[in-house]
Amino acid sequence: MSTKPPFTLLAPFDGWSLPLAEVPDPVFAQGMAGDGLAIDPTSGVLLAPCDGEIVPMKGARHAVTLRTAIGIDVLVHVGIDTVSLGGEGFTTAFAPGDRVRAGQELLRFDLDRLARRVPSLVSPIVLASGGHVLRRVVGRHVTAGDTLMEIAAGEQAIVAAGTGEELRRELVVVFDHGLHVRPAAQVVAALKPFGAEVTLAFRGRSASARSAVAMMSLGVHRGDTVEARARGADAAAAMTALEGLLAPVVHPVSAGVIRRAAASDGDGKRIEGAIASRGIAVGRVVHWSQPELPVLERGSGEAGEAIALDRALEKVQRLLRSASDSAHGERRALLAAHCELAADPGLRAQADEWLRRGKSAAFAWRQAARAAAQMLASLDDARMRERAVDLHDLETQVLLVLAGQDAAPLRSLGSDAILVADDLPPSAVSGLERGGIAGLVLARGGPTSHVAILAAAAGIPALVALGPRVLVLAEGTQVVLDAEHGWLDLDPPASERASIERMVAQREQERVADVAAASTEARTRDGVRVRVNANLGSLDEAAPAVANGAEGCGLLRTEFLYLDRREAPTEDEQAGEYQRIAAALEGRPLAIRTMDVGGDKPIPYLPMPPEDNPALGLRGVRASLRQPELLRTQIRAILRVRPEGQCRILLPMVTDVEEVRAIRALAEECARELGVGMPAIGAMIETPASALLAEQFAQAADFLSIGTNDLAQYALAIDRAHPELALRLDALHPAVLRLIALVADAGHARGKPVSICGALGSDVDALPILVGLGVHEISAAPSTIPRLKRTARLLDAAECREAARRALELATAAEVRDLAAVARARARAASQSH
C-alpha cells in the first residue's frame, strides 16, 4: 500500500448523494467506470472537487476529469446520456491543461433544460484511474464544498510487461457517440481478466485501453477506425475481447424490422437504409439496368396471337417448374408462386380482351399484367403491394419468350460487384445467386419482399430503402456495404477496406468452426443446458437445419406451405408434408403451429372480411376458430404423423385461455376418432394480455412459446412495417423483457417449458439476457444456430441472471443492448483466459 496520505474530495454541487448502485446506468452502477458515488443535483454550477489539472476530453462539455498531484483521475459526469446533447446546455469555464483549485467554478449547466432531454440528472463522481475510496457520504443531502469522499492512493494495477510480438488490429468504433465514458469503461472492463498491455491509436495519438479517461481524450467518434495494439503473453485473448466491443457488433433483426433510410453522416460518406439480408461486403458500385422491351401494338390476327401467347405462357411455366424442382426454401416457394401467376385465368382473360381488339400477344399480355400490378400496388396491404413487383417480373419473362429470347437473362457482374438498383425483379436476384456478387443495394424495396428473402437465402448482404441518392453514385465507386448496422460507406480509406476484409475472413473462419461444433449440445460454463431449435417454413429447410445443429423444430410456420394455394390443402396433403418434415428432422421434436393467417398473411382460399386494422382483427387462433372445419382438418393431419409423440401443436396469437381449452377439446375429439394419443399443446404468447395471464395459460397449456415479433409490436405500439418507427421496435426494450420475465416465471412455477421463437431468439446479443430471465430453449433461424450454441457455451448462467436483473431496471433498449454487449464481452474474455 502506498504511503501517500489520503486526500478529500468535496461535493461539486448541491444535491442528494447516493451509492453508485442506484445510478440508472449499468456501466456506472456496476463500477466499470470506477469506484465512487453519485449526486442528484439541485444546483447548476459544478465546482472543482479537489486541486488538480484538467485532463483533455475532446468534445466532452458534459463531464470534467481532474488529475490530482498523486496521479488519481477524478471524473465528474453530469447526468446520464448527456453526451447525446453535444454540449448543448453546458457552459465551461476551463481549458484542457488548466490547473485549478478546489471550489473553483468549472462548469454551468441548465438543470431544467437537461431534465427535459436526458433520462436522468444523477451525476456520478468516480475515480477513473488509481486510488480507492476509504469513506464516502451517501444517503443524504450535501452542499457544494461539503466533504464527499476520502481517497487513498492505492497501488496501480500491475500489467504484464510488454514482451513478445505486438498484435495490431484496425477496428471500427460502432458506439453511437464514440468512445465516451460508458463505452470506454466497457473496454476497460472487458480487458480486466488479461495482463497484456493494450493501447488504442488514433490520428497520431495513442492511449491506454485500461484507462477510460485516456481513451476519451482521443476524441474518437462513431465510425472512426482505431488501431488496437496488444503485447504480452495473453495478447491474442485480450485482442479478441477488445474486438467483441470495437469490431462491428451483429444485432440480428427480423425481416419485419426496418431501418428507415436517413440522412447521411456529417461528411456525406455514409447512406443509411434498411437491412434486408445480413452481412458485410467490400466492393465496387455496379448499376443494374434492364431496358424496356419493344412491343408492337397491332397483332396479325386474334387466333395466331392467342396461340403465341399460350405457347409463351406454357414455356415460362415449364421453365419455372423446372427451376422450382431444383430450388430450395424461399426460392422454391417464389418460383412456385410465379408459376401460379403465369397460369392465372384472370390474367389470361384480361389479355384475351386486348387480343379481341386486334392487339398483339405481347401488347395484350403487357396490358393485362400491368393492370393487375397497378391494382395490387394501390392496396394498403404491404404484402400485396410487393406481389405487384412479382407481376412486373412475370410480365418481362413472358415478353422475352415472345421475343425469342431466354426468359431469365443472366448478366455477368463480378464477385466484387455491389449491385445498385431502384428495385429488382425477383428473377434477377435468382440469376445473381448463380452469377455471384458481393452485395445488393436498392433505393426502394421492403423487408418482406421476395427480393429480400431471396438475397438472405442466397447469402448476399443486402440493404433496401436507401433513397434516390444511391442511384447517382458513379459506376465503380468503392464502397463498404454494412448490412449488420444498416449503412453504405462511400470511398472508404484503403486501410478501412483492408480491415473489414480481414474481419469478413475471420467471421467466415468462425462460421466454419461453429458449424463443425454445432452437433454438440450447448451448456453454459456453469452447466445450464440451453436447447437451440430451428424455425422452419418448408421441408427444404429441415435437413440444413439439422446440419446446423438444430435439436428440433420449435416453430413450423404451416401457413407458408400454402400461401399461394387457391384451394385449401386436404388432410392427406398436410399429413404427408408434415410427415416428410418429421422424417427430415430424424426423430427430433417438431412443434407445428396451426395456420397463423390474417393480418399481413392473407391466403387466397381463406378470404377474410375487410378490416380497418388487420393486426387487431381476425388473426391466428381467432381466424382458425372462424373456420373450424379447416382447423379440424389440420389437427387430424398433425395427429397422423409418426412416430406418435414427435409432434406438438402450437396455437398462435392466443389472448384468452378459453381458446386453448376449446382447441384442446377439438384435438381430444380428433384423437379419439383416429385412435391415437394426445400431443402436447402449447400457447404462443404474443400479446401483453397473454403475457399478463401467463400463469393461467401455463395451467391450460403444456408448454409456452414467446413470439417476440408481435409481442414487441403490441407492447410498444409500433407497427412492424412502419418505416419511420421501425428503428425503435426492439424486443430488448425493458417493457418487452418484463413481459418475457412474467412468462418465464409462470412456466417455471408450473413446471412448463418456455421457449422463444421470435426474431429475438436469433439475436446473439440477446442470449445472455434471455438465459438470465430463465429462458433456456430458443428457436431460431437455422443459419444462426451454430453461433448461438457457441455463444451459449461461453456464458455463465449466474452472471446472466445478474445481467437480466439489471436489464429489467433500465429504461431503454439501447441501454439493455449496452449491458448485453458487456455481458458477451466478459463471457468471451473469461473463456479466453481459461
- What residues are annotated to the active site? 450, 757
- Identity of the amino acid at 461: P
Coil/strand/helix, residue 1: coil
**Which stretch of DSSP H or E encloses residue 265?**
none
Looking only at the bridges linking them, the beta strands covering 647-651 and 590-593 are parallel
Helical segments of 263-344, H only: 302-325, 329-342
Looking only at the bridges linking them, the beta strands covering 225-231 and 462-464 are unpaired
Cβ–Cβ < 8 Å for 75, 149: no
* 393-429 as b/e: b if 16+ CB within 10 A: bbbbbbbbbbeeeebbeeeebeeebbbbbebbbbbbb
Q: Give the distance from CA 21 to its chain's centroid.
A: 30
- List the Cα angle 372/378/383 in 5-degree steps: 85
Separation of alpha carbons 383 and 371, rounded Å: 18
**Which stretch of DSSP H or E encloses residue 94?**
none
Count the Cβ atoms, other than its own, within 10 Å of residue 346.
10
> Around 71, how many Cα atoms within 13 Å sit in the side-chain half-sphere?
9
Report the 3 state secondary structure along 598-629.
Answer: ECCECECCECCCCCCCHHHCCCHHHHHHHCHH
**Which stretch of DSSP H or E encloses residue 720?**
none
Q: Point out which residues pair with 202 in neighbouring strands.
A: 205
- Identity of the amino acid at 106: L
Separation of alpha carbons 468 and 444, rounded Å: 8
| Terminal CA-CA length for the chain | 29
Cβ–Cβ < 8 Å for 562, 580: no
CA distance readout (Å), 475 to 77, 237, 285, 419, 464 = 47, 41, 5, 10, 19
Nearest CA-CA partner of 814 in 738, 753, 710, 727: 727
